Amino acid sequence: MAGDRPRVAPPQDVALIGRSTQQRATVLAALVTAEGFVSARALYNRLLNGGSPVGLSTVYRTLTALAAADRADVVRDTNGERLFRYRPGPDHRHYLICTECGLSLPVDSGPVEKWAERIARTSEFANVRHTVELAGVCPDCGRRHVRAP
C-alpha cells in the first residue's frame, strides 16, 4: 500500500492534536468540506467512497481529539449519536439545526452567553459549562412536508 492515496492539504490544525499524520489530515479535510454537522460513521463512509479510507476508530479518535482541542463543535442528535462540525474561530458557537436534513446555522448567542455567565457567577458552582441547542424544521424541509405523509 504505497503512495497512491490522494494527498489532501493538511490545514495547520492537524498539528494541534499530536502527530501530523495522513489520516488525521484526511479526516480534518473531510470535516471541513462537510460544512455542517456529520457523524463519525458518515465521515467514515464518505472517505471510503472517496477512495481515501481511514479506519473507523481513527475517525472517532480524530474527531474526539479535534473537539477536545476546541477545533470542532459537538451536538447529539435525537438518537444520541454525536455529530461534529468544524469550527473556524476560537469561540464556541450554538446552532439552529434542521432535524430533517441536518442543515445547521450558527445563531447569535451573545445573550445566552451572558445569561450563562451570570448563572455561573451567582451560583457557588465551579467550572460551569453549558450546552445550548436549537432544533427545528428548516424552510425547505417544511415546504416538502406540506400535506405529505
Partner DNA sequence: GATTGATATGAAAATCATTTCCATCTAGCG
Partner DNA sequence: CGCTAGATGGAAATGATTTTCATATCAATC
Q: Is 55 in the site for DNA (CB under 7 A)?
A: yes
Smallest gap from residue 68 Cβ to DNA (A): 11
Smallest gap from residue 36 Cβ to its own copies (A): 15
| Residues sharing a CB contact under 8 Å with residue 128, sequence separation 6 or more, in sequence order | 116, 119, 120
Question: SS in 3 state form for 37-60?
Answer: CEEHHHHHHHHHHCCCCCCHHHHH
Sheet-wide strand order for 72-76 = 38-39, 82-86, 72-76
101 binds, among Zn ion, its own copies, DNA, none (CB under 5 to 8 A by kind): Zn ion
> Looking only at residues 107 through 136 of this chain, which bind its own copies when binding is defined by CB under 8 A?
107-108, 111-112, 115-116, 119-120, 123-136
Binding track over 110-129 against DNA, x by CB under 7 A: --------------------
Q: Is 92 in the site for its own copies (CB under 8 A)?
A: no
Cβ-contact 32, 10 below 8 angstroms: no
Q: In this structure, what DSSP letter does residue 89 have?
A: S
Residue ranges in contact with Zn ion by CB under 5 A: 98, 100-101, 103, 113, 138, 141
